Amino acid sequence: MAEVMFFIAAIVALAGAGGTVVLRNPFYSVLALVSHLLGLAALFLLLRAEFVAAAQVIVYAGAVMVLYVFVVAYVGGQDRPLSPRHGPGMRAIALLFSGALLVEIFIAVIGSGLSVLDTEGTGFFATFGSPGEIGKLFLTKFLLAFELASLLLLVAAVGAVILARRRSGLDDPRELSVADLLRSPESGTIADAERGSLQEAAGPPGR
């Protein structure tokens, strides 16, 4: 049964990966990637990684792919065919390179001689892959990585907002900035008056 499930999930994942690369319309590429992620989540379940599979479906196939779909719908999918500006030679070299990489990884995996790779895995305990065990590891052994991940998410969110904001919106007088909110209305007038009086006290600029 596990073998049948493995082959179904692997075929779905590989077909999704191929479709992501081959399909011309970016919208269909996103949909193919969603099917790839679902197949990969099934593979994670077969590897007893329940929490990773759930996070894969919810975070990846849910949130991140919705972001992709919105951006594809906003930018508009240009489904024009590949323009051979560099000719078919560069493309053949690229495909040759990825094929050579595939052969190299196969040689490394199959020829590694690690005896653990021929088994179904060792040391499987009852709560393997449960959210409790992973949370325990995150809060004890990998606490620094956990905090750094949260910091990275904050930086990426701020960076994405700054990158994607409207450029012309900065000159819009109806738009409020943070400095406007921090400045109270009466302090502005007092500061102007004081600046004026100081300039008068200093006299005309002689230098």
Partner 1 sequence: MSITWYLCVSAIVFSTGVGGVLTRKNPLVVLLSLELMLNAGNLALVAFSRAHGNLEGQVFALIVMVVAACEVAVGLGLIVALYRRRLPIDVDKLRELQG
Q: For residues 50-89, which are near partner 1 according to CB under 8 A? A: 51-52, 55-56, 59-60, 63-64, 67-68, 71-72, 74-75, 78, 82-83, 85-86
Report the residue from 144, 164, 179, 181 that binds partner 1 according to the rule CB under 8 A.
Answer: 164
| Distance in Å, CB of 176 to partner 1, minimum | 21
Q: Which of residues 128-147 bind partner 1 (CB under 8 A)?
A: 128-129, 133-134, 137-138, 141-142, 145
In whole angstroms, give the CA distance from residue 65 to residue 156.
17
Which of 83, 184 has the CB closer to partner 1?
Answer: 83
Percentages helix, strand, coil for the chain (3-state, rounded to 5) are 75, 0, 25
In whole angstroms, give the CA distance from residue 41 to residue 186.
60
The answer to whether 109 and 117 are in contact (CB under 8 A) is yes
116 contributes a contact to partner 1 by CB under 8 A: yes
| Distance in Å, CB of 174 to partner 1, minimum | 19
Q: Which of residues 12-31 bind partner 1 (CB under 8 A)?
A: 13-14, 17-18, 20-21, 26, 29-30
Report the residue from 99, 175, 188, 197 that binds partner 1 according to the rule CB under 8 A.
Answer: 99
In whole angstroms, give the CA distance from residue 155 to residue 135.
23
User: What is the contact mask toward partner 1 in residues 33 to 52, using x (rule: CB under 8 A)?
Assistant: x--xx--x--xx-xxxx-xx
Q: How many other C-beta atoms can be found within 10 angstroms of the C-beta atom of residue 37?
A: 21
In whole angstroms, give the CA distance from residue 114 to residue 130.
27
121 contributes a contact to partner 1 by CB under 8 A: yes
| Helix ranges restricted to H, 78-142 | 87-110, 131-140
What values do phi and psi take at 32, rounded to 5?
-65, -35
199 contributes a contact to partner 1 by CB under 8 A: no
Which of 160, 193 has the CB closer to partner 1?
Answer: 160
